[in-house]
Amino acid sequence: MTQEKSEVSKFAAEAGRKVEYAKGLEGVILTESSLSFVDGLAGKLIYRGVPIQELAEYSTFEETTYFLMFGEFPKKDELEKFDQKLKQNRILPPELLNMIKMFPKTAHPMEALRTGVSILGMLDTNKEDISRETNIERAIQLIAKFATIVAAFNRHRNGKDFVAPNLNFNHAKNFLYMLRGKEPSELEAKAMDVGFILHADHEMNASTLSCRVVVSSLSDIYSAVTAGVGSLKGPLHGGANEEVMKMLGEIGGVDKTEAWIKDALSNKKKISGFGHRVYKYYDPRAAILKSYAEKFAEVRKDMKEWLEMAKLIEKIMIETLGEAKGIYPNVDFYSGLIYSAMDIPMDLFTPIFAISRITGWTCQILEQLVDNRIYRPRAIYIGSIDAHYVPMDKR
């Protein structure tokens, strides 16, 4: 028997009986990584061993990015140099800016971001250099430019002139400035910075896997990142906080919340912002963002009812499904409230996720290339193995 026939027979035999496999790769170990780790049962997230709570309280997005990329916290001069490099790379090439002006104003911001990354790849004049050092430089450029692409497209679709990056502002504050054309409040800038830290990396999620799979073929970093953007665009990955705000709008008020949620649960309707493939306890990122939602509710009275509704939903869900099924709030449940408090359009929620996650994507790509092996999984074949071609006149 040839090797080919042997493989067909093997998989056909497996198809003929019940074979256990991990649909969606759930729980499957694909590689080793030292970047981030999720302890789903304990509700913990760490970046290179450091709890996310400490980074959110004491660090900045720039410092956290350096830490993830290079594996150690920077000294003062190292951070200043890294920060300056990020700032200098915020400016988009004129070719890309001209292309953004041609993007359909009806396009989704994630489509604009996906196309923007591809254009950056085409504009790279040093494609033949795939050394680690050059890829690190490309990673820094992408991290710096993501926010500018998103802000520029949002200005374009609203018929407004682009706002040039402010090199005196940090990454989060500058993004809000480019988006609006005015300096954000201290609370807004801090909340965005914390949000960027919390979303920077999250182990082997769908978009991260997409990046690693593409680069495992030794494709370029831009192609890999484009795949990550495309994966994050899906509502099952990057759009949940948008769905939370739509849900709150559909409920319509605190007095209607309990009945709406109980009715939804009785009809087995998914409650947006709850449950996670890995977390079976309270997502630590959700707890941090909840505290910022409370701060916004103090200064934005129109946000107070949204927060009260969210807290009531959380209470009902934990009492109903928390201990019983391990369903607790995830990071998306409160992030949408915070972005709404900043008057950010809902279709920008996922691009903001990407502005942060580009750090994790590029660090994961760099890590993949250190000890690379192309991804080549198999599938359980369940089709026929003895079919034959049917001529046209006999079909």
What phi and psi, each to the nearest 5 degrees, are found at residue 51?
A: -60, 140
- d(C-alpha 311, C-alpha 104), whole Å: 39
- Which one from 237, 263, 371, 386 is the annotated catalytic residue? 237
For the question of residue 332 being annotated catalytic, the response is yes
In this structure, which long-range contacts are made by residues 117-121, counting pairs with CB atoms below 8 Å and at least 24 apart in sequence? 117/142, 117/149, 117/222, 117/225, 117/226, 117/229, 118/222, 118/226, 119/95, 120/93, 120/96, 120/145, 120/222, 121/220, 121/222, 121/223, 121/226
Residue 247 CB neighbour total at 10 angstroms: 22
- Pick the catalytic residue from 83, 193, 283, 332: 332
83 labelled catalytic: no
Interatomic CA distance for residues 76 and 78, integer angstroms: 5
* Structure-block tokens of residue 302: 């129109």
Beta strands in the chain (DSSP E): 36-39, 44-47, 50-51
> Which is the catalytic residue, given 276, 302, 371, 386?
276
- C-alpha distances (whole Å) from 355 to each of 23, 43, 254, 299, 350 are 29, 24, 33, 26, 9
For the annotated catalytic residues, the residue numbers are 237, 276, 332
